[in-house]
């Protein structure tokens, strides 16, 4: 049996990277796959994001929007099974639970009592307990022989007292749940990104006070060697391995030099599954854990690859595909099957919104508004959705029948009106005929499509007389300036010719006149637009080149490599928020490596000394 834990840093991105959710899951060849930081909002969860053939899934999403945390975290557990409805497989859980306080299910059912294992937490209110589970950080699955916790631990900056307290509450309540299960004799597996590197060996160039952090001390207190009941499975298998990291900062290129930290863990508690009189020397690690390691092939930057070298030599112009974490796996053996059982109700297959049966409030209101608009158009005699060509919509209907207006005229109606004008030889000054009596279209606004633009332009051009063609037009003045000067010099002759042409047009119809004027208008307008666009683009290009040159001249050189730095902006709230600064462009790495980042820093507002 194989269990994998992986912080995907956005499930959508990983699905896109692998082509489908099933391809992503199959790449691990594992029985249970626990994902963290899915970044899925509950109202956006669809079947293609949480369901795949051959897998049963259980997910939890953020239920709060405090400080923009909607879609911020999220976890999902995928269990590979052959049959979901009647199976003996250990991978298919007997039960599943969202969160670990036990209150999410109660709140949905309208209950208010605390679970029995929370009776010792008298210092916490129900609101505080629920807030711990409100960020979608835990899924618990009961696999009979053990209970599996899929966790995404909260992160807290050293100066953020509110999040530090939240993180403290999170692990305090979580520990209480573990103790309750262990008291019942249950065996526990804890997997996920806990956002804690327990020892100095688990962090690149850890400082002297690194292990004094309260959360690192808490983590170590839970381990068997310090009086706790948990094994750190990776360290149990590889006690002295250095530079075994699972996470690397995204914005510093630290993965190039493997300058990271180990915060993704697999923990297990209690004895082995064997039943014997003498269990001395038996424990879960010796009896059931075959291997535990880091899947470094999932790293964004592979050690020794050409892309790795180019990444730090040329800055960050090369985009790396993948998460900023690497998966961790454990392989178990001698895990017996279970009795026949079916999928727990928490499975994604039973969630209505995943199956497409639930609509969001926005979609309902949008459909209702469109329906009301179409009904109003139909009652007023305006074109409905059956009459309007794609790209043209009746935006609004206001007032009574006498002053109704439709802001956008469909290309189909425009074409029909043009044809009727040509056949009847109507004057260019006449308004466009209304669809029904008593309704006038005050203006014609071109649609978004190219066809509707051309139709609207043709409609406007066809309403001009031949006489107006020879008059000076502000629209095409810049295009035909020279020829128009000659034409104006012979205005008397042109008046004579235009009168004759107008008479002929009235006798023979306006089709030739319409075609001539349409071609001239379109060509002149397009030529004018292209000229203005090219001139504008040239001006913008020259200005941008000037700005780039100024920026290039102001970029300092780093002290360690004498290379141009890169500019960054402070994004953390505080007195320096939004302020620009310069740092060495190379990837972050050990201070002993001269090829790595030299640590140069300079505020952009200060004067350069180079």
Give the pLDDT band (50/70/90) at residue 368: low
- Asked which of 413, 444, 475 is the last residue of a domain, the reply is 444
pTM recorded for the entire structure: 0.66
- Domain contains 11: yes
Distance from C-alpha of 61 to C-alpha of 42, rounded to nearest angstrom: 6
Query: How wide is the angle at C-alpha 122 spanned by C-alphas 119 and 128, nearest 5°?
Result: 105
Average of per-residue pLDDT values in the chain: 76
The tens digit of pLDDT for each residue in 586-609 reads 888 888 788 888 888 889 875 444
Cβ atoms 401, 423 nearer than 8 A: no
Q: pLDDT value at position 218?
A: 97
Structural domain includes residue 461: no
482 has binding-site annotation: no
Q: For residue range 453-491, what is the model confidence (pLDDT) as tens digits?
A: 544 554 444 455 555 555 554 444 444 444 444 444 444
Domain boundary (409, 444, 479) is at 444
Q: Give percent of the chain with pLDDT exceeding 70.
A: 62
Torsional sign, CA 538, 541, 547, 552: negative
**In this structure, which long-range contacts are made by residues 507-513, counting pairs with CB atoms below 8 Å and at least 24 apart in sequence?**
509/422, 509/423, 509/425, 510/421, 510/422, 510/425, 510/462, 511/422, 513/465, 513/466
The answer to whether 325 is annotated as binding is yes
The answer to whether 169 and 12 are in contact (CB under 8 A) is no
What is d(CA 394, CA 383) in angstroms, rounded to the nearest whole number? 8
Using an 8 Å Cβ cutoff, are 161 and 87 in contact? no
Q: Are residues 223 and 279 in the same domain?
A: yes
Same domain, 415 and 524: no
532 plus 571 within the same structural domain: no
Out of 410-414, 515-519, 574-578, give the one with best mean pLDDT. Answer: 574-578
Report if residue 153 sits inside a domain: yes
**Residue 608 in domain:** yes
Residue numbers annotated as active site = 152, 193, 325
Number of domains composing the chain: 4
- Number of Cβ atoms within 10 Å of the Cβ of 153: 22
More confident call, 104 vs 497: 104
Structural contact between residues 193 and 37, judged by C-beta atoms closer than 8 angstroms: yes
Measured N-to-C along each axis, helices 491-508 and 511-554 cross at an angle, to the nearest 10 degrees, of 120
Q: For residue 458, tell me if it sits in a domain.
A: no
Lowest mean pLDDT among 390-404, 412-426, 460-474: 390-404
Q: With respect to residue 112, please indicate whether it lies within any of the assigned structural domains.
A: yes
The answer to whether 560 and 566 are in contact (CB under 8 A) is no
Query: Is 193 known to sit in a ligand binding site?
Result: yes
Length of the chain: 610
The CA angle 45-46-52, to the nearest 5 degrees, is 115
Same domain, 135 and 206: yes
Mark whether 125 and 50 lie in a shared domain. yes
79 and 179 co-located in one domain: yes
7, HSE (Cβ side, Cα atoms, 13 Å): 28
Q: Are residues 190 and 136 in the same domain?
A: yes
b/e per residue, 274-284, with b = 16+ CB within 10 A? eeeeeeeeebb
According to the annotation, is 195 in a ligand binding site?
A: yes
Q: 160-164, 364-368, 471-475: which has the minimum mean pLDDT?
A: 471-475
Note the pLDDT of residue 207.
Answer: 87
Q: What letter would DSSP give residue 134?
A: T
Residue 296, domain extent = 2-356+445-452
Q: Are residues 339 and 372 in the same domain?
A: no
Look up the CATH number of the domain holding residue 222.
3.60.10.10
pLDDT band at residue 407, thresholds of 50, 70 and 90? very low
204 and 292, same structural domain? yes
Tokens linked to 402: 């006498």
Q: Picking from 217-226, 311-320, 378-387, 525-534, which range would have the lowest pLDDT averaged per residue? A: 378-387
Instruction: Please say which residue of 427, 452, 477 terminates a domain.
Output: 452
Residue 139 CB: number of other CB atoms within 10 A?
A: 29
Residue 507 domain-assigned?
A: yes
Whether 67 has a pLDDT exceeding 80, the answer reads no
* Residue 475 and residue 389 share a domain: no
Domain assignment present for residue 459? The answer is no
In terms of Cα–Cα distance, which of 26, 157, 145, 13 is closest to 91? 145
Buried b / exposed e over 383-395, threshold 16 CB at 10 Å, is beeeebbeebbbe
C-alpha span between 610 and 608 (Å, rounded): 6
The rounded radius of gyration (Å) of the Cα atoms in the chain is: 35
Which region among 207-211, 300-304, 315-319 has the lowest average model confidence (pLDDT)?
Answer: 315-319
37 is known to lie in a ligand binding site: yes
Select the more confidently predicted residue: 212 or 413: 212
Q: Are 343 and 249 in a shared domain?
A: yes
- Is 9 among the annotated ligand-binding positions? no
Question: DSSP labels for 221-269?
Answer: HTBGGGT-SEEEHHHHH-TT--S--SB--TTTTGGGGT--B--EEEEEE
- 184/328 same-domain check: yes
pLDDT at 211: 92
């Amino acid at each position: 049996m194989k269990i994998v834990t992986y912080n995907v840093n956005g499930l959508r991105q990983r699905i896109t990277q692998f082509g489908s959710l099933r391809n992503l899951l199959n790449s691990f060849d594992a029985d249970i796959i626990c994902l963290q930081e899915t970044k899925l909002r509950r109202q956006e969860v669809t079947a293609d994001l949480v369901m795949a053939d051959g897998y049963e899934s259980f997910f939890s999403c953020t239920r709060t929007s405090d400080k923009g945390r909607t879609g911020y975290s999220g976890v999902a557990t995928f269990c590979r099974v052959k049959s979901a409805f009647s199976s003996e497989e250990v991978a298919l859980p007997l039960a599943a639970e969202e969160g670990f306080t036990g209150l999410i299910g109660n709140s949905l059912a309208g209950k208010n009592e605390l679970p029995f294992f929370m009776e010792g937490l008298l210092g916490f209110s129900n609101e505080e307990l629920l807030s711990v589970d409100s960020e979608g950080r835990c899924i618990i699955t009961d696999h009979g022989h053990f209970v599996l916790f899929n966790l995404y631990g909260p992160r807290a900056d050293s100066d953020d007292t509110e999040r530090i307290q939240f993180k403290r509450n999170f692990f305090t309540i979580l520990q209480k749940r573990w103790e309750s299960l262990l008291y019942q004799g249950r065996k526990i597996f804890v997997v996920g990104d806990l956002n804690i590197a327990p020892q100095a060996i688990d962090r690149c160039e850890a400082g002297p006070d690194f292990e004094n952090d309260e959360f690192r001390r808490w983590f170590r207190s839970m381990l068997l060697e310090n009086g706790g009941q948990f094994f750190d499975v990776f360290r149990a298998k590889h006690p002295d391995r250095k530079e075994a990291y699972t996470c690397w900062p995204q914005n510093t290129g630290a993965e190039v030099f493997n300058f990271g930290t180990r915060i993704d863990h697999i923990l297990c508690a209690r004895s082995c599954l064997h039943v014997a009189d003498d269990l001395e020397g038996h424990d879960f690690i010796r009896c059931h854990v075959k291997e535990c390691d880091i899947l470094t092939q999932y790293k964004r930057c592979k050690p020794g690859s050409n892309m790795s070298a180019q990444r730090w030599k040329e800055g960050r112009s090369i985009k790396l595909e993948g998460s900023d974490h690497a998966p961790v796996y454990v392989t178990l053996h001698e895990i017996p099957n279970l009795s026949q059982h079916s999928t727990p109700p928490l499975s994604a297959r039973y969630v209505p919104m995943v199956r497409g049966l639930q609509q969001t409030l926005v979609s309902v209101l949008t459909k209702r508004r469109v329906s009301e608009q179409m009904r109003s158009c139909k009652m007023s005699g305006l074109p409905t959705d059956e009459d309007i060509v794609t790209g043209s919509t009746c935006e609004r209907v206001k007032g009574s029948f006498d002053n109704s207006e439709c802001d956008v005229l469909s290309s189909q109606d425009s074409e029909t009106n043009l044809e009727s004008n040509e056949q009847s030889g109507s004057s260019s000054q006449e308004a466009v005929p209304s669809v029904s009596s008593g309704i006038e279209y005050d203006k014609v606004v071109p649609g978004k499509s190219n066809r509707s633009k051309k139709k609207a332009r043709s409609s406007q051009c066809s309403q001009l007389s031949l006489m107006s063609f020879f008059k000076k037009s502000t629209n095409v003045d810049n295009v035909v300036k020279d020829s128009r000067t000659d034409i104006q010099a012979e205005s008397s002759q042109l008046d004579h010719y235009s009168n004759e042409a107008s008479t002929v047009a009235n006798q023979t119809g306006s089709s030739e006149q319409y075609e001539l004027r349409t071609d001239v208008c379109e060509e002149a307008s397009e030529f004018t637009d292209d000229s203005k666009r090219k001139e504008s683009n040239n001006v913008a290009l020259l200005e941008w080149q000037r700005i780039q040159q100024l920026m290039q001249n102001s970029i300092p050189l780093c002290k360690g490599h004498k290379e141009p730095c890169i500019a960054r902006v402070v994004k953390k709230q505080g007195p320096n928020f939004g302020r620009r600064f310069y740092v060495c462009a190379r990837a972050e790495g050990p201070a002993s490596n001269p090829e790595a980042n030299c640590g140069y820093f300079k505020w952009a507002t200060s004067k350069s000394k180079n």
